[in-house]
Amino acid sequence: MQQTEFPFTLPQGYLDPEGNVHQEGTMRLATAYDEVAPIQDPRVQANPGYLIIILLSRVIVRLGTMQQINPKVIENLFSADLVYLQDLYQRINQSGHNRFLVNCPHCGGEFQVEPPPPGE
């Protein structure tokens, strides 16, 4: 079965209005509609850079205890978290995820590993 949801941990975390930090989340694979629907949004038409805000708000299904992620949440992320999420989106949607099936040389068990992003 194909993996369609990917857990992540933000480097900084989203700071909600109550002062709670949300770092753990889940991103799902994007659909074709996820990629074309934001193009019709007036905010994207006025500022093409806003596309990633709308796109991420559609594919992030959970962030901490928050179940509803909207563009306002993505707008208020720290820039390091936005860059992290853009990279994750690219890895799982454009080129597939970078997980490799490996065998442990000691026990012979199989498991998946994912190399850290470049620069980490």
Q: Any idea where the domains of the chain sit in the sequence? A: 5-113
Tell me the whole-structure pTM to 2 decimals.
0.77
For the chain, the residue count is 120
For range 86-107, the mean pLDDT:
78
**pLDDT tens digits along 6-38:** 999 999 999 999 999 999 999 999 999 999 999
Nearest 10 degrees: Cα torsion 34, 42, 88, 13: -120
Residues 6+ apart with CB under 8 A from 106: none
Q: In 3D, which of 117, 92, 97, 98 has the Cα closest to residue 30?
A: 92
What ranges make up the beta strands (E) of 5-118?
5-15, 21-28, 60-63, 100-103, 110-113
For range 101-107, the mean pLDDT:
75
